Structure 1
Amino acid sequence: MSANGPSPDLFDADLEAWRKQPERAFDGWLASHGFRHGTAVVYRAMWGKLLRWSGERGLAPLSWSAEQIGAFLDEQDLHKHHRYRYTRLIERVFHHLSLLQDGLHNPASQAVRAHLAEGENDPTAFLLPAERDTLIARVLAPAAQATGQDGAALSATQWKRARDTALVAVLLGAGLKVGEARGLGIDSIAEDAARLRLVRADNGRAYEAPVFAFARAALLAWLEIRSRTGTLGNLVFPAMPSGRHLHAASLYRRVEILLDEAGVLAGRSERASPQTLRNTCGALHFEAGAGPTQVAQYLGMRDLESGWRLRAAFEAWQARVGLKPAQGGAGDTGTSDVACYA
């Protein structure tokens, strides 16, 4: 790029150029629209983050579905305003591309229509205690009884059911993000499944996520089935026994199916998603006596201040739904005793 902006040929990049060199084509698109320097810098960073996310998941540029865009937005921990800004940017790019090819779908517009761009309703949502307990009783608890049969006799449906149940278990019981769950390795799980050893992708910081006792049986049951059926690779939650990665969009669908089966979705006015399960895990830690800083560490949050924001959101939610405040107060002196996870 020259000091005066991208060369003119980038302004007329065709669809093939967008697919092969999406960053350069995007620079040309920015220049052709005359965005202010500050806006262009922000948009370029946003586009770059989307491309990196896409590349990490083996998705070709511009091949995204509405569900995949929704998954990307959820994994970025964005506020609602920024989610819409991202979606609007992707929508504008695909509108431009539709001028190059008739009938080209616009996944961002589809994401908006499907309410995938909205994220959690403001303010932050959690599962109600009754919803949480029902999910544990109807989905997680029965999973421990599913290991008695010969592994070879398991159907593909039974294999996926055990995997999906364990997936819900680590989302709710350990507070994992979608990306962390998709990339979780067998060697990251303690022998008794009481803790998960994780590393943040953005800064390489290692941390341990304790696993609540109610989630361990489902996880251990799945690990036994996974082993006995000869599942390949190191991923805890592969898409198939061959060991390939589970797509984020598939993960969202599988989680939603189990939430619906447990009756969680029927009476809710707020969206219930993997992020809701992560929020609820944080709430369980607060209820067990952990302080905001400790919860931020348990959930591998980007900064310790995020734990205080989650605590404030939890207290506001409790007031909104008419629940008594969690024991332990708003300070950071609480500690989660090991017995809380026994």
Structure 2
Amino acid sequence: MDMKTLGLYDHPDGWRREPIEAFAEFVKSEAYLEHGRRPPTVDVNKKKRPLRDSTRKNLIHMFGKFVKWMAGEQVNLFTVTPDHILRFLDAQVTGRGKGDKDMVSTIRTRHVRLLERVYRHLEIAPNPASMAAHGMYRNRETGAAGVDKPTIALTREQEAAFLKALPGEPGDPRQNWKRRRDRAMLALAIGAGLKVSEIRGLYVENIGQPMRDGYITITVNPAATDGTSLPHDTVLRQEYVSYLQPWMKERAGLDVPGRLLFPSGLRKEEKIDQVTLYRQIKATFERAEMTSVDHQGGRTLRNTFAVRELALGTTVEQLYDLMGHRDIKTTETFVGLVSKYRPIRSQDS
């Protein structure tokens, strides 16, 4: 094939000369989709679903940070080692504020998965990014750079304080519809164990009708989360339904295009920015004055749901389904936290 017809990303020389430009071409190609750990998502016509423009821009920004870091270390894509990559990953999370600690694992994982795709495409073996990922997990218990923090869940008292500090309290004239929307979103994070991506992708029809004992079933559709979740149903117990229903009623009265449960605005159907949700979670922790909680993020709220369900008598197998986990070992990690959580009601009620 004539080299002039190839893109920068098609040949190692392109990555050597213009790595960021080569990567920008790479993320627009089907090759990027094919080199992921999961099969690429497809549309109704079985065609591979391309990345959104916003996702591509974010990935290019992430890769650009890696290129800049390599320049400072006087290495390039072809001379960098797994140890270099581990140090880079550590640099991305060093110095972050307390409210961002819950995102540490996600930040590392996104960077290392991105680099794994690049090295698969370049057919470099062994893959230095994969070796770095193994190093991260191997050092999980040692406290070395790039390891996950211990699993954190709120106690019953902390959960009550968080709920009391939610934005958009009904009847407060200083709060607008967006804060009441945020109130319902955060209630779903802690009440139904939903991830930020799952909350953003919910449609009105994903919320079921109240069952006999007052709980509501919520359906998670992987297509609405860009394939980041498995299809599953979770529950919103009766104690938390009252945080969602006022917003459902208010949203029905708003002139909102489309069916998104939590729209970003009233002019067009657009998902709320995940940063907005993270900020509201952090602000609620601050209002609740829970400075002792290390991980003030969405994962802590999701963990709290898991521990609460186990405390109420839900089995590990049932919780595995409610959480949409890919491995039941992940679900089992919450068993040891149950003793620190006081159930909402006694087991025999």
User: Shared fold (TM-score greater than 0.5)?
Assistant: yes
CA contact (8 A) 2:218 2:235 kept: yes
Q: Which runs of 5+ in 1 are unaligned?
A: 28-43, 70-88, 100-105, 148-153, 328-335
Please tell me whether residue 195 in structure 1 is matched to residue 217 in structure 2: yes
Identity across aligned pairs (percent)? 19
Question: C-alpha offsets along residues 286-307 of structure 1, whole Å, 9 cap, x if unaligned?
Answer: 1110111111111111133322
| Letter matched to residue 261 of structure 1 | R
Please tell me whether residue 245 in structure 1 is matched to residue 271 in structure 2: yes
Taking a change above 3 Å as real, the CA distance of residues 122 and 241 of structure 1, as seen in their structure-2 partners, is same
| Letter matched to residue 217 of structure 1 | S
Question: C-alpha offsets along residues 25-59 of structure 1, whole Å, 9 cap, x if unaligned?
Answer: x99xxxxxxxxxxxxxxxx648x99xx99935733
| Letter matched to residue 234 of structure 1 | R
CA contact (8 A) 1:176 1:278 kept: yes
State how far apart, in whole Å, the 1-side matches of 2:274 and 2:90 are: 16
Secondary structure in 2 aligned to 1:208? Answer: strand
CA contact (8 A) 1:164 1:255 kept: no
Partner of 2:15: 10
Q: Of residues 256, 272, 287 in structure 1, which corresponds to 2:311?
A: 287
Secondary structure in 1 aligned to 2:265? Answer: coil
Q: Of residues 189, 205, 209 in structure 2, which corresponds to 1:171?
A: 189
Question: C-alpha offsets along residues 115-165 of structure 1, whole Å, 9 cap, x if unaligned?
Answer: 54634963200012211011223438x84x449xxxxxx88x511110111
Taking a change above 3 Å as real, the CA distance of residues 306 and 254 of structure 1, as seen in their structure-2 partners, is same
| Letter matched to residue 11 of structure 2 | P
Partner of 1:225: 250
Alignment length (residue pairs): 263
1:22 CA drift (Å): 4.1
CA contact (8 A) 1:195 1:209 kept: yes
Please tell me whether residue 59 in structure 1 is matched to residue 55 in structure 2: yes
Please tell me whether residue 92 in structure 1 is matched to residue 92 in structure 2: no
Secondary structure in 2 aligned to 1:197? Answer: strand
Secondary structure in 2 aligned to 1:113? Answer: coil
Correspondence 1:113-124 to 2 at 5 A: 113-114=95-96, 116=100, 118-119=104-105, 122-124=149-151
1:261 CA drift (Å): 1.7
1:204 CA drift (Å): 8.0
State how far apart, in whole Å, the 1-side matches of 2:297 and 2:230 are: 26
1:241 CA drift (Å): 1.9
| Letter matched to residue 258 of structure 1 | T
Partner of 1:275: 299
Please tell me whether residue 234 in structure 1 is matched to residue 208 in structure 2: no
Taking a change above 3 Å as real, the CA distance of residues 198 and 63 of structure 1, as seen in their structure-2 partners, is closer
| Letter matched to residue 231 of structure 1 | V
Question: C-alpha offsets along residues 184-211 of structure 1, whole Å, 9 cap, x if unaligned?
Answer: 1111001337110123454985322110
State how far apart, in whole Å, the 2-side matches of 1:127 and 1:229 are: 34
CA contact (8 A) 1:177 1:278 kept: yes
Please tell me whether residue 258 in structure 1 is matched to residue 284 in structure 2: yes
State how far apart, in whole Å, the 2-side matches of 1:215 and 1:306 are: 25
Taking a change above 3 Å as real, the CA distance of residues 325 and 90 of structure 1, as seen in their structure-2 partners, is farther
| Letter matched to residue 18 of structure 2 | A
State how far apart, in whole Å, the 1-side matches of 2:13 and 2:217 are: 55
CA contact (8 A) 2:206 2:220 kept: yes
State how far apart, in whole Å, the 2-side matches of 1:203 and 1:214 are: 28
Partner of 2:177: 159
| Letter matched to residue 310 of structure 2 | F
State how far apart, in whole Å, the 1-side matches of 2:251 and 2:90 are: 36
CA contact (8 A) 1:189 1:196 kept: yes
Correspondence 1:305-324 to 2 at 5 A: 305-312=329-336, 314-315=337-338, 318=339, 323=340
Taking a change above 3 Å as real, the CA distance of residues 205 and 110 of structure 1, as seen in their structure-2 partners, is closer
RMSD between aligned residues:
4.3
1:6 CA drift (Å): 3.4
Correspondence 1:61-76 to 2 at 5 A: 61-62=57-58
Taking a change above 3 Å as real, the CA distance of residues 238 and 94 of structure 1, as seen in their structure-2 partners, is farther
Q: Of residues 111, 136, 159 in structure 2, which corresponds to 1:132?
A: 159
Q: Which runs of 5+ in 2 are unaligned?
A: 4-9, 41-47, 75-87, 107-147
Secondary structure in 2 aligned to 1:280? Answer: helix
| Letter matched to residue 314 of structure 2 | A
| Letter matched to residue 66 of structure 2 | R
